[in-house]
Amino acid sequence: MSASMTVFFVERTGHLLGAVTRNSGVAPASRKGPISEDLLFRFKDGTQATVSGNHLSTLLVAPLPEVPLAPLDFHAPKATDAPPGTAPRPKDVKRLPAAPVSVTLYSDGILVDLGRFATKNENVWILVAGGTLAEPLFVEGTIEKDSQGTTLLTPALAKGVFYQVLALVEDHATFLDRLDAHGPSPIED
């Protein structure tokens, strides 16, 4: 009997948020979300947010020792030739590409910028917590093909106040930082 590892990932983007190995090898099968378990995500300053199982899926894979130590460095990618959101994920986890994203908070939205034009539609999932928020804020969207980024509208964020932000863009490195909100987002033509 060999050990197994269950990874918990954001269904929309594939980014891992947690992992658990079982030396008994007896583990529940992979489940496409929503799942029944939630997950407590904690930021560097201790701010915490419960990520509901509605956002999550699980995969049962062979254990990789580095994954439980740094799950945010890994993702469960989709099949490369499948349109986004259509293909099942292979039973595999991989280290995320070193493709950073930049995030800017505005009082009325969040700008996610790839720094280059997207070659395909890229799903976005963002968690904002702390600051003036009594409850964590979950925002989802898409960066469309041939665009460089997107601005996702949010409930009001207080200008000048710092928030903890976890921003995940499909096939891009995890963004995790503390940001202060600027004034209203620039109006796009």
Partner 1 sequence: MSEPIVRPVFFEGQILAAGDLEAAVGHARGEAARDRRALHTPGIATGLALTGKDRATAAGEKFQEVTLSAGIAVDRTGRQIVLAADTRLDEQLFIDQGVQVKRDPAALYPVFLLGRDVQAPIEPTAACGTTGPTRVTESAEIEFGRPGAELETNNGEPPEPADGVADPSESVLVGFVQWDGRLQKFKRAVLVSGGIGPGFAGALADEVVARNGVLSLRSRRGVDKPALAIDEADDGTLLFGPQDSLGRVVPAFKVDAKGNVTAQGKIAGSAAPGTIQAESGVITDGLVLPLPSGVKPEDVAAGKVALHVHLTALPPGNRPPGGDPIPPLPAEWFAVPLECDLDRASRRVRCRFRWVNVSTLPTKGLTFEDYPGACNYLVLATAPAQAEGQP
Smallest gap from residue 110 Cβ to partner 1 (A):
19
The reply to whether 158 sits near partner 1 by the rule CB under 8 A is: no
The reply to whether 68 sits near partner 1 by the rule CB under 8 A is: yes
Minimum CB distance to partner 1 smaller for 29 or for 46: 46
* Count of residues that interact with partner 1, criterion CB under 8 A: 33
Burial class (CB in 10 A: 0-12, 13-18, 19+), 103: buried
The reply to whether 19 sits near partner 1 by the rule CB under 8 A is: yes
The reply to whether 27 sits near partner 1 by the rule CB under 8 A is: yes
Element spanning 66, H or E: helix 66-69
Among 10, 12, 21, 89, binds partner 1 (CB under 8 A): 21
Smallest gap from residue 37 Cβ to partner 1 (A):
6
CA atoms within 13 A of residue 149's CA, in its CB half-sphere = 18
Say which DSSP state 181 is in. Answer: B
Give the C-alpha distances (Å, rounded to integers) separating 55 from 35, 38, 87, 187.
Answer: 8, 9, 17, 30
Minimum CB distance to partner 1 smaller for 25 or for 186: 25
Cβ 4 vs Cβ 21: under 8 Å: yes
Residues that bind partner 1 (CB under 8 A): 3, 5, 8, 17-24, 26-27, 37, 39-42, 44-46, 48, 63, 65, 68-73, 173-174, 176
